[in-house]
Amino acid sequence: MRKPIIAGNWKLNKTPHEAIGLINELKRELVDVEGVDMVVCPPFTALADAADALTESNIALGAQNIFWEDAGAFTGEVSGPMLKDLGVAYVIIGHSERRQFFHETNETVNKRLRAALKHGLTPIVCVGENLAQREANKTFDIIKDHAEGSLSGLSAEDMKKVVLAYEPVWAIGTGKTATPAQAQEVHAFIRQLLIKIFNASVAESVRIQYGGSVTPENIAALIGQPDIDGALVGGASLKAPSFAAIVKAAQKLEIS
């Protein structure tokens, strides 16, 4: 049984002061939760304050990106050692918005992924198709391309340390959600890809999150699917009641 993982991607939201307030609410709401890995991913400017607020908490800290070099003349980037020193445990890599707006490629995702593993950070690597690609029946081609390119050259042992997130880009911030059956179909396809790229043991152990307009209302049906191991939550992670409800739905399913 793979342990569910619910991660909140705050994107470009929350000042340090606001981050502390949200985290304190989450700590109260989630203090008794067990059996679910919980992660919050504030913007870089709030990471230090968030780390302090999360001290002795059952909620882990994640970042939204990482650069592949440890130091140097790379204006605007943040390195693995910097994140590690702040107490960051997870890092989102290759999010669809990074691919769309900042021209991330499979190659740069792979380099960032390797940097995360090098510094003992757990990467959450995103794959997913946009609306045009889905309507052209290219979903599986895009997923295969993203997975094979982003995970290129990893050993089986490295892959066991990675979390994957399937993002149907057409369902992010649109209010649309892939049906549980649609999401499961792609998650199952990803798991079969992992068998081909690595082996059955790796495929069985890797956790694959769903990310695409996740809400307290749809999480139970999504995470109830056999190959969906959690959620990468966007807008619903910005308010404590909705994020806590999503976590608790995952916990309820885990212990049922």
User: Which residues have a catalytic role annotated?
Assistant: 95, 167
Beta bridge partners, 39, equal 7, 60
The neighbour count for residue 215, using CB atoms within 10 Å, is 16
Q: Which amino acid is at 55?
A: T
User: In one letter, which amino acid is 109?
Assistant: V
